[in-house]
Structures are given as C-alpha cells and as structure tokens.
Copies of this chain bind each other. A is one copy, B any other.
Amino acid sequence: MNNFVYRCPTRIIFGKDVIKDTGTFVKNAGGTDILMVYGGGSIKKNGIYNTVVESLKESDVKFTELSGVKPNPRLDLVLEGIKLVREKKINLILAVGGGSTIDTCKAIAFGSAVPEGEDIWDDYFMVLGKPIPKGIPVGVVLTIPAAGSEMSNSCVITNHNTLNKRGISNENNYPVFSVIDPQVCYSLPAYQTACGCSDMLSHMMERYFTNTSGVDLTDELLEGAMRVVLNYAPKAVSNPDVYEYREQLMFASTLAHNNLFGCGRQQDWASHWLEHELSAQYDIAHGAGLAIMTPAWMRYVWKENPQRFVQFFTRVLGSTLPVTDVENLVKDGIERLENWYRLIGLPVRLSEANIDGSNFELFAERCLSGGRTAAGGLKKLYRDDILAIYRLAL
C-alpha cells in the first residue's frame, strides 16, 4: 500500500423521507440566505421541489433559485451562480439534483472565493493539481445516484466554448451535508438508472485497477461493493420502485467516490478521461460513454497486469474459467462485463451511440491538454495508445 491521507467530512443523512427535514440541515450548517440550484423540470414534476421549498420555509431560510443545470454541466451557469452569490450575499449553496448540479454548486462555491485577477477556468480547471480556495458551504439533496459527488472532493465542469471537460479534486470541494432518500429514484427513467449504475461501477473500477501491491483490504471492499452494483442494477432497471434495490445502489454510489476505497492505491482513471472527451463533444450520457470506453480500455491494457484482471473477473464477475488460461479468461470476462452493460440497456460500442471515428485525433489531443503528459495509472497511455483505444471502441 502507498502512504495516504484520507479525510471525508461530509455528513450523510440517508433514508426514507429525510428530504422533509432539509431546512433543518441547511440551518444547522449556517445557511440563512441560500442559493438553491437545480436542473430542469423533473424535481417540479416528482414533488422534490415542493418538499424542499416547504422545508426551507418552515426553517425560515431565504432562498434564491438558479435552474437550468444540464448533463455535462457548463461553465456559463457556474459564472452566473458566482454573480448571484456575490449580489445576494449568499451563505450556503444547496444543490438539488445529481452529479451535474452538485458539481455546478461546488464550482460556484470555490469560484466565488477565487481572488481578483484570477480566472476560475484558466487558472484552476486548466491547471493540474492547483489547490482551490475554500468557499461557502455546499449542501446537497441528492435526486440521482451515480456520480458520488455528494460525498466526494471532485468537481467536473465543461467549457462549451473550448469543448474541454475538466475535473478538480480538492479537499475544499466536500459538501457539508448530503440528504439522500432512495425513494427519489422511483421516477428515474430506466436509461438514467442504468447510466448511474455504470458510473458508480466505473468509480470503483478506476480505483480497483492498480499496480500497487498489498491492497487486500481495499480490494475486498471494492469487490464486495462492485458485486452489489452488478447484482442490483438490472433489478432496479426492471423494477424501478423497489426501495430495497434503490437503497443498495444509492449507498453504493455514495461510497464509490468518497475515496475510502482508493486509499493507498495507485488509481487509473483513463476510462474516465477518454470518456470525458466523448461527452464533452457529443452530449452522450457519461455512464453510457463509460460502458463503451471501459471494455475497450480493458482490451488494450490487460496484459500490463494480467493477474489483476483475473482476480477481477473471477471474484467480481463470477468467471469460473481456469485461471491458467489467462487470455481466454480475460476475453470471457470482458464479454461478461459487456453483457451486463447490455442487460441494463447501455451501448458498448461507439457505433451503437452513432459516434464515428472522425474526431479521434481531436479527442486524443484534448485528452492530453492542460499539462497532462499521459492518461491512466495501470498503464500510462500516450497519444497513440489513446487513439488505439478509441479505435477498439468503434
């Protein structure tokens, strides 16, 4: 295991009907004048909007609204939020949504604290590893499980002018609280449920595929949590309103990305980097893009650490092929994974998502822009490797 520092201070409030008490959690976190951020109309249709607003009023919390967050959240809206925070003297930002909404709020929070003369995009998102200033607190009412942003230090924003999608991981990004009621998932379309499950599984795989030795404990935790996602995702896709399915997936998605499972391990993240270029350009859902890029990535890199893939496919995907025939076991394992993606209704090839190879050169270039020299941890991927993987995904 590598040396590590771990801290995750977000308070999780999890269970049936906890959203009704949102106002209390906001108040306890010091929120009196808040910015409430959300996406489009879905929270108005499914009643979450009303529940939250009622609870805020009961607790005498004043709120300003900022709506219109879309998947692959945009820098434009972040800048609009920063303006509102300054104008209205906001002291807490409440995200009511999924990963895109939460990431928008995280960016607004630290963006409001960026010193004069610095630019949130050029001086932070495009600079690898730069610490961010501590902004006002962010609270979350989670409406879509997937991203894990509700308990993570990461924040991914897309600049639609430059078509760059970039993430920042920093301790100041943790929400102060996250209110998580699995019942909010009942109304999610099957495709969105599936994309969420693909994303949470990927957050675990990105941590699992490592060359670090002495990682038995986090291996066990990751393997167990991945088995739960693999087991419950198809159930939730076919039976959307069973609480028992939703709670397992919602808790798994939160744990997948708070980095406990990644402690002391070299992590990979190549599939995420390669996917980010897809969804920045095509507005394909992130989880669908991962279902395409991950198997392609596996085909290209498995020889770098065959034993890790053997362990993954036998312990997590239930392969029973002889471990002596590694090549066959890996081939079969990747097919098992692809079959699972298909089972929950996701594409596993770019062609199935109507994406052709015309932008691969551009993707590879963007993927390695902003001071990045290579993608991935298990195998370092340079321009030609990245192009090869995109081609395998066709």
Give me the interface of A with B, judged by CB distance under 8 Å. Answer: 1-16, 18, 213-214, 216-217, 219-221, 223-225, 227-228, 231-232, 243-244, 247-248, 251-252, 255, 260, 263-264
Contact A11 B15, beta carbon cutoff 8 Å: no
Residues of B within 8 A of A263 (CB): 12, 14, 251
Instruction: Give Cα distance in the complex from A3 to B250, angstroms.
Output: 13
Instruction: Give Cα distance in the complex from A221 to B222, angstroms.
Output: 8
Contact B248 A228, beta carbon cutoff 8 Å: no
The residue in chain B whose Cβ has the minimal distance to the Cβ of A214 is B244
Residues of B within 8 A of A225 (CB): 217, 220-221
A6-B12, A217-B224 known; 19 other A-B pairs, CB under 8 Å? A1-B248, A2-B15, A3-B15, A7-B12, A12-B263, A15-B264, A213-B244, A214-B243, A214-B248, A217-B225, A217-B228, A219-B224, A220-B225, A221-B221, A221-B224, A221-B225, A224-B224, A247-B264, A251-B264
Instruction: Give Cα distance in the complex from A213 to B242, angstroms.
Output: 14
Residues of B within 8 A of A232 (CB): 216
Contact of A14 among B6, B216, B224 (CB under 8 A): B6
The residue in chain B whose Cβ has the minimal distance to the Cβ of A245 is B214
Do A264 and B14 form a contact, CB below 8 Å, given A214-B247, A220-B225, A247-B214?
A: yes
Q: How far is the CB of A14 from chain B (nearest CB, A)?
A: 5
Q: How far is the CB of A169 from chain B (nearest CB, A)?
A: 16
Do A11 and B1 form a contact, CB below 8 Å, given A214-B248, A227-B220, A251-B263?
A: no
Contact of A224 among B10, B223, B251 (CB under 8 A): B223
Contact B1 A7, beta carbon cutoff 8 Å: no
